[in-house]
Structures are given as C-alpha cells and as structure tokens.
Amino acid sequence: METVLITGASRGLGYELLKVYSIHDYITFPIVRTEEAFERLKYEFQGKCYPILADLTLDSSINHIKSEVSKQTDELDILINNAGISGTEYLIETVRTKEVNSLFDIHCLGPIRAVQSCISLLKQSDNPRIVNVSSRLGSITKMASGEFSDRDFSYSYRMVKAAQNMFTVCLSHELQGNNISVNAIHPGVLLTRGGSSDSNMYPEEAASNIYEWIKTLNKSTTGQFVQPSIGKLPW
Ligand SMILES: NC(=O)c1ccc[n+]([C@@H]2O[C@H](COP(=O)([O-])OP(=O)(O)OC[C@H]3O[C@@H](n4cnc5c(N)ncnc54)[C@H](OP(=O)(O)O)[C@@H]3O)[C@@H](O)[C@H]2O)c1
C-alpha cells in the first residue's frame, strides 16, 4: 500500500489532495497545525489516515513528524510540500520585512524541515517523489516578461516562491543519486482562501490533476516545473 505525506492539509488544495489520496486507498499523513483540524481529519478519514499536529515554522516539527510517520511505516512514497500563506504588500514603501520573513519560513524553510523529517523514509521507497507546490508567480521568466504586470501581487509571495523553486532545483540535483524525483508545480489559480483575484479553478479539480500527474513520475522525471494537465513552465 502506498504512502503520502501532505503538508497544509486542513483546507484548500491540501485537503482536496488528502481526499483524492484517501479515495485511492493510500496511507495518508496529513500535517495540520490546530487541534480542531487534527480531530476533524481523524474523524472524517478513519482508517488509513494518520493526521500529525505540527507547525512547519518550528524546527521541532522535524523530529516530531519523523517519529509520528515511523510509528506506522518504514517507507514513504510521496511528500507533497503544500502548506503556504499569501502576502499582501506590493509597494516597496509598504513592504514589511516581517511579512517576507514569515512567508520565507513557511514556503522555504517549511519544505526543508519536511524533507529532513522524511528523507530516511523516502530512501526506503521503490519510487520516492517529492512535490513542492510552487506558483506561476515564482517563475522569474514569467515575471520578467511582464506577464502579470496588470495585477498587484505581493513582493513576499513572489520572492519566496522563486526561492522555493531554487530549492527544488538544488534538491533535485542532490537527490538524483538516491533516485528520488523532486519537482515543482503550479497547481492552477484556485478558488481557495489563498487564491487570487483571477482564481478560476476548484481545488478538487487541481487535486485530481496533481494526483494523476504524480502517478507518472519516476527517477527520470525530476527537476521540472509543471502545471499538471497543462505542461512544463519556465523557471
Ligand atoms: N490558491 C491558489 O490560487 C494557488 C496558486 C498557486 C500556488 N498555490 C499554493 O498552493 C498551496 C496551497 O494553497 P491554498 O490556496 O490551498 O491555501 P489555503 O487554502 O490558504 O491553505 C493553506 C494551508 O497551509 C497551512 N499552513 C499555513 N501555515 C502553516 C504552518 N506554519 N504549518 C503548517 N501548515 C501551515 C494552512 O493551515 P491552517 O488551516 O492551520 O491555517 C492550510 O492548511 C500554497 O503553497 C500556495 O502558495 C496556491
């Protein structure tokens, strides 16, 4: 039976991914950061779902996640780094360094912590895959071309998603020797709390596309930036 760990699974895209993987009979490890979400998921996805209460902005989450997953399995097939928050400030006069720092913590240090907690378990899988949920707004190529110049997106979000993309590239290179595939995705512009003014896709549809695409991944498909069901994106 295959195993998947999904961060930010309390709501939005992460919750829809949890639903899809549960329907397909995976053993799931949703990461949530409130007791309320922990109890709700335990009740709703009874059986092979093992919610883990952890705040990915804390280094203590590394050992906690590792020990909770290890209670149930010796190997992890898929890690989806999905947890994230949006920023607000899009003018240099009003950008707050505190906002940039807090987004960096969850979008960049969060995936580092999650990988550190899962790496030994991923190495035991026959087809280990890491997927970082990035964004079209993290594409320096797209941003530089002026593709989004008609909209006000925060400095913090665009900066940290670009940094997260660099993490994906570095990690994919390092883990190639371990046959672990590491990719970044833009999930679509979603109708979630973290969505933007041009949101047009239900997270259920995005989750289903992501599930199908992850099934196609293996050690030879690594280091890509993709919108599942659409195609490759430029870094
Ligand atoms: N929505 C879009 O259009 C869009 C487009 C491109 C990329 N994305 C990316 O897709 C991912 C999911 O977005 P979404 O729209 O589904 O967002 P969402 O509905 O706002 O959900 C965000 C999730 O992240 C969790 N989270 C936030 N900080 C956390 C922390 N410190 N530790 C653990 N979990 C934490 C939240 O938990 P709580 O419930 O506890 O707050 C929640 O489960 C994000 O990485 C986002 O940047 C979204």
Angle among Cα 112, 69, 53 to the nearest 5 degrees reads 75
37 CA distance to ligand 1 middle (Å): 14
Alpha-carbon distance of 18 to 22, in angstroms, equals 6
Q: What is the pLDDT along the chain (235 residues), one digit of tens a residue?
A: 999 999 999 999 999 999 999 999 999 999 999 999 999 999 999 889 999 999 999 999 999 999 999 999 999 999 999 999 999 999 999 999 999 999 999 999 999 999 999 999 999 999 999 999 999 999 999 999 999 998 899 999 999 999 999 999 999 999 999 999 999 999 999 999 988 888 889 999 999 999 999 999 999 999 999 999 999 999 9
What is the residue with the minimal CA distance to atom 17 of ligand 1? 194
Instruction: For residue 87, give the amino acid letter.
Output: G
Alpha carbon of 139 to those of 101, 132, 157, 158: distances in Å? Answer: 20, 14, 11, 8
Pocket test for ligand 1, best of 6, 135, 167, 227 (most atoms within 8 A of CB): 135
103 CA distance to ligand 1 middle (Å): 11
What is the residue with the minimal CA distance to atom 46 of ligand 1? 84
Domains, the chain, with CATH or none: 3-232 (3.40.50.720)
Specify the pairing of strand 27-32 against strand 52-53. Answer: parallel
